[in-house]
Amino acid sequence: MANDKLLKLEIVTPQKVLYSGNVVSVSVPGSLSPFQVLYNHAPIVSSLETGLVKIVDEENNTRYYAVSPGFTEVHSNKIAILVDKAEEPSDIDVEVTRTTIEQLKSKISSELSQDEKQKIKLQILYEEAKLKAIEKAKSV
């Protein structure tokens, strides 16, 4: 693959840079709609929803990451994905994730405020995105 057709990508959380490298394409869960970024994409800043980031790296390997809400910026063939949380499938324990989902679901009750219920639902979405990342990684 020609090096002049690659994008420079970083996935950054408050704790660390989870990914830094050259990629052919990146698909992100945009707030209004998922979208893909390829070489020479127009500059954009977009909010992101909880979901999956799909990367095709410079060696044509496909990788998936579960991400929480955040932002992405594309400019001059550089992409920054800034999120509170992100995990790659190899770091996710399926059983712990499933248990966490069940525990979160059991917390939702009519006694909670709408804000508290919404926070729990967002946590559940993130945990479910982690399971989807594992599933997608296995199918590659």
Local confidence pLDDT in tens for the 140 residues of the chain: 456 799 999 999 999 999 999 999 999 999 999 999 999 999 999 999 999 999 999 999 999 999 999 999 999 999 999 999 999 999 999 999 999 999 999 988 778 899 999 999 999 999 999 999 999 998 87
**Which residues pair with residue 64 across a beta bridge?**
54
Determine the pLDDT at residue 1: 44
CA distances from 33 to 8, 51, 82, 86, 128 (A): 22, 11, 17, 19, 19
Superfamily assignment of 3-87 in CATH? F0F1 ATP synthase delta/epsilon subunit, N-terminal (2.60.15.10)
Per the CB < 8 A criterion, the answer to whether 55 and 19 are in contact is: yes
CA separation (Å) from 60 to 2, 23, 25, 63? 12, 8, 9, 10
Q: How far apart are CA 103 and CA 86, in angstroms?
A: 21
The first and second tokens of residue 11, run together, are: 């996935």
Residue 3 is predicted with a pLDDT of 61
